[in-house]
A and B are shown apart, each in its own frame.
Chain A
């Protein structure tokens, strides 16, 4: 092979290597596109009760838009069309007189008109083949109405679960995710940091400590679903009196009544991310130069004083970054929480750590696995929220790291 051939082979392969990296970037782009494409688009709705039967008509015989009606008119519509029991249930939630025009209008839509999704279209379809969509709607549904809908809208954030995708929201899931991950941090951070300090500063090189070290590395490679089985066996069943809150006298309608609570979920996730936190913190502590410790000892400081005022401050930026990475892995975990017993349907938002729970990834899983297309749309909207949560967490870690760095320099 001559030199020219060797060089041309070299450049061909260089292109292939570069192409592989580009492939990874393209995958990320396609994934993001897939998600965003589903978060907005046309929806064909059919009302169970026709608008004309319920709403007052204007001069042309067309039902007036809901927004133009005032609160008392809306109240009359509700009174006229809903049964006494239904009205009572709504009154218990919040009396009609105290509700705003907007909330009454929402009630008219969800309780009286009761729209059902016939078909949904993605954002790209809605923009580029609008005529086709309108033609399809005309052919397949005479009285249906075609609306452009942003699935990711403010009310999606403030509504709880619903069996109708149009009225479903992620409020319960966000509360559940926040409470679960809060508990996880509460347990995993002190334990993880403590273990890392022990391994790096205190542990002598003996058989027992070597076993702990190997064990931590092995635990980091255990699939998350196995942690779910651990949580199910230990927290949900074995420690049920504690995780259900019965040991603390916590019973009643707000608690789950068994071990399938936020507490169990938080503890399971804590064990899951513990090895990652320990390994990251160990590396951070190991990177602190020996001289820093020696100078502390030379001034007569004790071991703990050296750790507290020399080792930890100068490694905290890396410890926190590692912890945040571990936490963002925890937030996205789904499989272990399915095993620990996330609820398929929550009638009310979780109020304490002994409540039943659902989390954002669990919602995404449940909605994606439904056969109806509109649930894919709200799954996509929930994915966007989850990704924003993860991104802001990572951004927070970077800010925190920079703050620690500048404090150390200054």
Chain B
């Protein structure tokens, strides 16, 4: 009769194999936490000796980045990043948003099915190829238009424009997601009042999707700030504090790649300075991403 007692035990059979699987899956999930800890730890550990020698205030306000003479001011590198990113956003935001409006509100389904994969291909091209494109095609065109005495071979305008093309598909698809999740009822209401398609798009759909669009803008900006290969190839080497987009100027990412590509001895101040730039870059992109996901959350609350 003990058997009956056994079968009414509802605790269930012990399954060590399933428990093992559970632990492995949990471990897999914690790898992402370890990655973050690794990033913060590495950047912090390697940047610490740098900030022991160069104060943060000096790092942020010195006007020159010349490691040879111990001048470590991030400003020239930062302005170059700013110039390329702003140029990129000037291309990517208007064109990306306009094409998103077209794809979401205007395009017939058949055309849409052709155009969307094209944008996906554009998004899938490695950034080093865009760098080649900037140097091989865009820079000669700019030199032809503005004169080669005015436009350097390496310049931030060419890098920024091509970066805009790189980010365009990202902005377009994020904006399209935001636009197409605006409830149909809002559009129908406006149509019922006699609005044209344009009026519906501009005064109803875009304002309703504004937080999603701004999230797309911020994610795009964060991509532009962190983009490396285009600026490494096309924006030039050597820091240069200038806002002139025709001049060559090295960005933060470009500097990291150029210096680390050469022979670099560990534990030198040059080496540590790269991690200081990296930490600065990480803080910027992290805050931009946090801002964007905050916007997305806010916008989901409105319609769900």
Contacts and interface: CB of A to CB of B under 8 A. Distances in A.
A225 B226 contact: yes
Contacts of B222: 221, 223
A9 B18 contact: no
Contact of A24 (B46, B99, B293): B99
Interface string A294-326: 000000001110000000000000000000010
B38 interface: yes
B165 A194 contact: no
A84 interface: no
A237 interface: yes
A191 interface: yes
B102 A18 contact: yes
B172 A332 contact: no
Interface stretch (A52-60, A146-154, A378-386): A378-386
Interface string B124-161: 11111111110111000000000000000000000000
A136 interface: no
Given A230-B38, A274-B32, A334 B286 contact: no
A6 B121 CA distance: 36
A357 to B, nearest CB: 14
A217 B292 CA distance: 11
Given A17-B101, A334-B229, A6 B199 contact: yes
Contacts of B102: 14, 17-18, 20-21
A343 B31 CA distance: 29
A183 to B, nearest CB: 16
A226 B102 CA distance: 35
A38 B30 CA distance: 47
B29 A198 contact: yes
A62 interface: no
Given A31-B125, A368-B233, A21 B32 contact: no
B67 to A, nearest CB: 17
A368 B28 contact: no
Interface in A16-57: 16-21, 23-25, 27-28, 30-31, 34-35, 38
A218 B291 CA distance: 11
A228 B260 CA distance: 10
B282 interface: yes
Nearest to A122: B136
Chain A interface: which size bin?
35 or more
B118 A215 contact: no
Given A10-B196, A24-B169, A234 B38 contact: yes
Contact of B219 (A6, A193, A221): A221
Chain B interface: which size bin?
35 or more
A17 B229 contact: no
Given A20-B95, A226-B39, A218 B289 contact: yes
Contacts of A254: none
DSSP class of B's interface residues: helix, strand, loop or mixed?
helix
Given A20-B98, A339-B257, A383-B129, A368 B199 contact: no
Contacts of B22: 202, 304
B232 A365 contact: yes
B227 interface: yes
A194 B35 contact: no
A215 B36 contact: yes
Contacts of A27: 122, 165, 168
A392 B170 CA distance: 22
Contacts of A338: 257, 260-261
A191 B165 contact: no
A292 to B, nearest CB: 19
Interface string A326-349: 001101111100110000100000
B122 A222 contact: no
A243 interface: no
B57 interface: no
Contacts of A194: 24-25, 27-29
B286 A218 contact: yes
Nearest to A11: B198
B191 interface: no
Given A27-B165, A361-B126, A223 B198 contact: no
B33 interface: yes
A108 interface: no
B32 A212 contact: yes
Interface stretch (B1-9, B241-249, B273-281): B273-281
B163 interface: no
Contact of A334 (B25, B126, B260): B126
A364 B136 CA distance: 13
A111 B292 CA distance: 59
Nearest to B46: A233
B45 interface: yes
Interface in B278-304: 278, 281-282, 285-286, 288-290, 292-293
B15 interface: yes
A179 B83 CA distance: 38
B35 A20 contact: no
A203 B29 contact: yes
Given A222-B285, A274-B35, A364-B132, A332 B126 contact: yes
A275 interface: yes
A192 B28 contact: yes
Contacts of B137: 30-31, 34
A387 interface: yes
Contact of B128 (A20, A21, A222, A334): A334
B89 interface: no
Given A202-B22, A215-B36, A237 B99 contact: no
Nearest to B292: A221
A78 interface: no
15 contacts: A7-B196, A17-B105, A20-B94, A21-B102, A30-B137, A193-B28, A197-B25, A215-B33, A223-B227, A226-B226, A230-B35, A233-B38, A338-B257, A338-B261, A368-B128
